[in-house]
Amino acid sequence: MVKVYRCNPEVGEKPHYRSYEVPWHEGMTVLEVLRSIYENHEPIAFRYHCRSGVCGACGVMVNGRPVLACRTYVEGPGELVIEPLKNFNVIKDLVVDRRPMLEQTIKLEPWLLRGHKAAVDFEKVEWSLESKDKFYLLASCRECYLCRAACPAAEVGFRKPEVTKYPGAKFYVRDLATRLLDPRDEGKHTRAVKLKEDIDAYACTTCKKCWEVCPREFEVPEVMEELRSHIANVGLGPLEGHMVFADFIKKTGRAVDRQATPLVEQVPELIDVANPIDEVLFFTGCLIDFRLQRVGLGIIDVLKRNNVRVIVPKDQQCCGSPAIRSGLFGVGKAQAMKNVEVFERYGVSKVVMGCPGCLLTWKTNYPKFIYEERKNLPRLEVYEITEYLVKILGLDKINKNFSSVDMRVTYHDSCHLRRGCGIWKEPRELISIIPGLKFREMNEHDVCCGSGGGVRAGRRAVSVEIGKRKVDNIVAAEVDGVIMECPFCYIQIRDVLQQFHGGKVKVLYLIELIADAYKGAEGN
Amino acid sequence: MIEVKRISTDVLVIGGGAAGMRAAIAASDMGAQVVLIDKGLFGRSGMSGTLPYWNVPAPPFPEDRDGYFEDLMNGSHGLADPKLIKILVSEGKDRVLELEEYGNIFIRDSAGEVSPAHADSHSKARIFTPAYSWIMSMQVLKRGIVVYDETFATRLIKSNDRVSGAVAFNLKEGSILAVEAKATVLATGGAGHLFGMDTRLWQSTNPIELTGDGYALAYDVGAELIDMEFNQIALEPQYSASRGQTYSSTALALARTLRSATTFQETPSVHHFLGGVLIDENGRTTVPSLYACGEVSGGLHLKATDQFIGCLVFGRRAGEAAAIEKAGEGMPEKEVKKEVNRVISILNNAPNDGVPPHVLRKRLTRSLWEEVGLRKDENSLTNALRILEDTKILLPKMIVRDKSKLFNKEWVEALETYNMVIVAEMIVRSSLLRRESRGVFTRADYPRSDERYLGHFHIKKVGGQMHLEFRSLRGPQRGLEVVVDPSEKVK
């Protein structure tokens, strides 16, 4: 059964869904489904041209996910909901209006900008092989706009254009990144202005939703950070809200100010256990260290109860993520050097952390930075605490002496954890072993909460709008608590829930919940 | 009632692929006002928009002009017009280097030379790849050229003997566009989709918009076409995975490196048309004020690999020549009305035993693929002609089920079907008459080439009938005596 969005404004038809029986066969594509409806039922309107995934015309939403119809297989005879691409006006049925996209593209002037009329002496242009390869890759963008349809910031831009003008990843990747890679282009300053003012480059939460649906699998956050670094290099960025963090890092080595006693000062450097089965270093991260100390204590407690010796290096500093996300690579690199040097001192290889932002930085940025400086890689393996519990200790082997936690709960996927580090099964597995929890997935459980990529700090209004969509989904799930494993998401969702729903749903940090369940069992 | 929007311009370009865009840029750079009509999505339409990037000969080829000339002439088995090929070879380098000025990046070695790769039927490595369709489309938009995309030109309008504009159907608005122009450039591409209209790449690599509209439009106003029987077939990699495995329809090199992979399978597909609307050195057709360039044009007899350079060189020439055309008589109101009525009548047609266009098209394309596409002989071609005649009879029975005007793809399909029938007839009739195998044209019953057929079948509409005439390239005495009766029908 296939449900298709139908709407024909010409005859005053309101949007509605119509169901069609379409016989399924092995290897059937969504395009074949649409064509089959067109031929055998009624001529629904949809676009397609090349049938080979190159022209980018056949983008539609299938079961809520933007895909190219010609390159997407229908896995079985189950129900299929086909809708027009999100964040577009609909012309008719599945056909969306792409004209505004073309107009936006022209405004970005994605041709060679030359300050003077002199012709380019192409034979003398110096190109690094790396940037050339990158140019070819980014120029091969299919212009399918699946990135726009998947993007939480573009959704805000479409719904509330007064809040942000963020149009979707394509414009950054294909129209601006390609030209900024080009040594012949002399529009570097104009492009920085356009990036910042015209298309709001600081509204991207680097949630990687676009990467997930992109037919070319572009690493958009990486491109976005380079573009932000370009804005910073010409002196137009980052934003005021970002500078607070950057200044703190430069001054104190930490990203936030001291309010209560930081975790590293509350606990001894070595937390030993009787018969250790493993030994780990604990990288706390600024938010856990300075704001959510209870979460940090929870991590130490959970490790202790599983016979793991924990070392909390006193000299650790901010991972540098807030600087890197807003394009200040120099500050980020200095932090990487300091932290790696401190952690390598102990001769212990495993590093555990409870913040996906730090984890992503350690996993993706650190090896690059360290290699640039030392020509070798850090001698450290990094794990998120839930990943460590499930993968290293083993779900069947960990201590299960929990008390029952009677609650209806749902889980919010942190973007950095799920798409950044590929960790989404582990937290759910841990939730499943805590007795009493009644778990249900919420709608759009893996959509960004609005705090990442420096958006909460720099573009609060955008952040709140993205967050609103998140908390509406949480409330709609009719649960008592929402569980997550990320300090940024935790603070953001807590605040936005309070703002729109008066704290109706409890916000829970997974590792803290586990620690509490251990403690509860002890009390009995 | 349908809204008819009237506009007037110096140059009208029909088609938004490499040739059409180059023509529009050239005309605009000459100071002409240009309107471009594109049936697909602008910047991504046509065969050139459907490729991940373009294959263009590497810039240093002038040192090797003679060799390139020889290869193109030999590759055409004597059918290419040496006058045109000479121009192509001498201007090619500049056109390619322009692509770099437009913002493409070519791979150059430390000496600044471009490193080329080898292509089929070339005696040395000359092909260099990465140029992008969208980069050229930006040059069009930068110049402020008015672009109507998802707009389908349904007929060229004549004032006395010259073409004075066209009537087109704008899908997105559900309205009709009547464009009056001093000169019109056809750049509508080929007709690969005549051989298959599947939702996969079976049978044809071409995007669905390539239904031979330009051939039919030009034929309708009395232009001459040649070499319509020459359809290049390519082995195409068929994909089988979804995400992250986007293979270009023509990336044969990639297919070869991956051939061992079990997911891969190569199948033959109609890829490219070598013939088309006959042009001269400036892209002029045999009808005044009508120009053609790219795959829709005939005379260069280029294979797909060399077609891009043909698009660029003759796109520019056609655009420049069109830009200096003097204004003639305007579009006769009567003719515009007649065409609007025809288009509307196809939408409103409601016979009792109506057939939706896809039914007719499926039958026609299957027959063309099976009897004309890969293997053909007298028998199969005769069969194809019979099915073609049947299809013609069924045309008035065609029904468009959705009667609304907005984005009505079925309406477009119905209009296209009329063009497809005309083009199919050109292909089948000239294939029947060419009793030999030459270059990309193969007949199972005549597997060898026959020097008497060194020449072109010229197709023209005479008195409402399709007229075919053979003109030998071996001089009048030594040519083949082919008498073609235009009224000849296959029983």
Query: Residue B246 pLDDT > 50, yes or no?
Result: no
Inter-chain CB proximity A47 and B41 less than 8 Å: yes
| Helix/strand/coil for B12 | strand
Summary mean pLDDT of chain B? 87
> Hunting for tokens 């690599």 — which residue is that?
B205
Looking at the complex, does the CB of residue B410 fall below 8 Å from at least one CB of chain A?
yes
Looking at the complex, does the CB of residue B76 fall below 8 Å from at least one CB of chain A?
no
> Hunting for tokens 């600024």 — which residue is that?
A286
- C-alpha B164: how far from chain center: 21
Work out how many CB contacts closer than 8 A connect A with B.
168
Q: Which pLDDT belongs to residue B253? A: 40
Structure tokens at A147: 């990135």
Inter-chain CB proximity B200 and A136 less than 8 Å: no
Q: What CA–CA distance (Å, rounded) separates B5 from A371?
A: 63
pLDDT in tens, B173-217: 999 999 999 999 999 999 998 998 677 767 788 899 999 999 999
Q: What CA–CA distance (Å, rounded) separates B216 from B277?
A: 10
Q: Which pLDDT belongs to residue B236? A: 62
Inter-chain CB proximity B52 and A54 less than 8 Å: yes
Q: What CA–CA distance (Å, rounded) separates A120 from A40?
A: 56
Q: Do residues B195 and B204 lie in contact, with contact meaning Cβ atoms separated by under 8 Å?
A: yes
Positive or negative: CA dihedral B196, B201, B203, B204: positive
Please report, in angstroms and rounded to a whole number, the separation of the first and last CA atoms in chain B: 43
Q: Do residues A423 and A384 lie in contact, with contact meaning Cβ atoms separated by under 8 Å?
A: yes
> Hunting for tokens 């993007």 — which residue is that?
A151
Q: What is the ipTM of this complex?
A: 0.91
The H-assigned helical ranges of A326-397 are 329-344, 356-360, 366-374, 385-387
Mean pLDDT of B260-285: 80
Find residues 127-186 of chain B whose CB sits inside 8 Å of chain A: 130, 132, 134-135, 138-139, 141-142, 172, 174
Strand (E) positions, A322-434?
A: 350-353, 381-384, 407-411
Q: What CA–CA distance (Å, rounded) separates B451 from B436?
A: 9
Q: What CA–CA distance (Å, rounded) separates B265 from A80?
A: 29
Find residues 305-344 of chain B whose CB sits inside 8 Å of chain A: none
Phi, psi of B26 (to 5 degrees): -65, -45
Structure tokens at A379: 């001698």
A380-394, B333-347, B382-396, B475-489: which range is least confident on average?
Answer: B475-489
Omega within 30 of 0 (cis) for the link into A238 = yes
Inter-chain CB proximity A10 and B404 less than 8 Å: yes
Strand (E) positions, A246-341?
A: 270-271, 278-283, 308-311
Q: What CA–CA distance (Å, rounded) separates A177 from B344?
A: 46
> Which chain B residues are within 8 Å of A112, Cβ to Cβ?
101-103
Q: Please name which of B197, B71, B208, B189 lies closest in space to residue B133, comparing C-alpha atoms.
A: B189
Q: What is the pTM of this model?
A: 0.93
* Positions of chain A with pLDDT under 50: none
pLDDT in tens, A94-112: 999 999 999 999 999 999 8
Mean pLDDT of B399-411: 95
Q: Which pLDDT belongs to residue A136? A: 86
Q: Which of B139, B172, B402 sits opposite A111 (nearest CB)?
A: B139
Highest mean pLDDT among A223-227, B35-39, B90-94: B35-39
Inter-chain CB proximity B244 and A51 less than 8 Å: no
pLDDT in tens, B424-439: 999 999 999 999 999 9
Longest pairwise C-alpha distance within chain A: 83
> Which chain B residues are within 8 Å of A47, Cβ to Cβ?
41
Q: What CA–CA distance (Å, rounded) separates B192 from B204?
A: 6
Inter-chain CB proximity B130 and A136 less than 8 Å: yes
> Which chain A residues are within 8 Å of B244, Cβ to Cβ?
215, 217
Q: What CA–CA distance (Å, rounded) separates B178 from B341?
A: 13
> Which chain A residues are within 8 Å of B410, Cβ to Cβ?
38, 43
> Which chain B residues are within 8 Å of A37, Cβ to Cβ?
none
Closest residue, chain B, to A144 (C-alpha): B44
> Which chain A residues are within 8 Å of B200, Cβ to Cβ?
29, 32, 51, 70
Inter-chain CB proximity B406 and A9 less than 8 Å: yes
Query: Residue B482 pLDDT > 80, yes or no?
Result: no
Find residues 272-311 of chain B whose CB sits inside 8 Å of chain A: none
> Hunting for tokens 């505004």 — which residue is that?
A100
Inter-chain CB proximity B141 and A106 less than 8 Å: yes
Q: Which pLDDT belongs to residue B118? A: 66
Find residues 23-42 of chain B whose CB sits inside 8 Å of chain A: 40-42
Query: Residue B484 pLDDT > 60, yes or no?
Result: no
Looking at the complex, does the CB of residue B356 fall below 8 Å from at least one CB of chain A?
yes
B300 to each of A132, B69, B283, B311, B475, how far by Cα in Å?
Answer: 34, 12, 11, 11, 20
Give the burial class of A214: count Cβ atoms within 10 A of its Cβ; 0-12 exposed, 13-18 middle, 19 or more buried.
buried
Beta strands A65-68 and A16-20 are unpaired
Q: Which of A91, A106, A132 sits opposite B407 (nearest CB)?
A: A91
* For testing contact with chain B, the best of A54, A117, A178 (most B CBs within 10 A): A54
- C-alpha B409: how far from chain center: 20
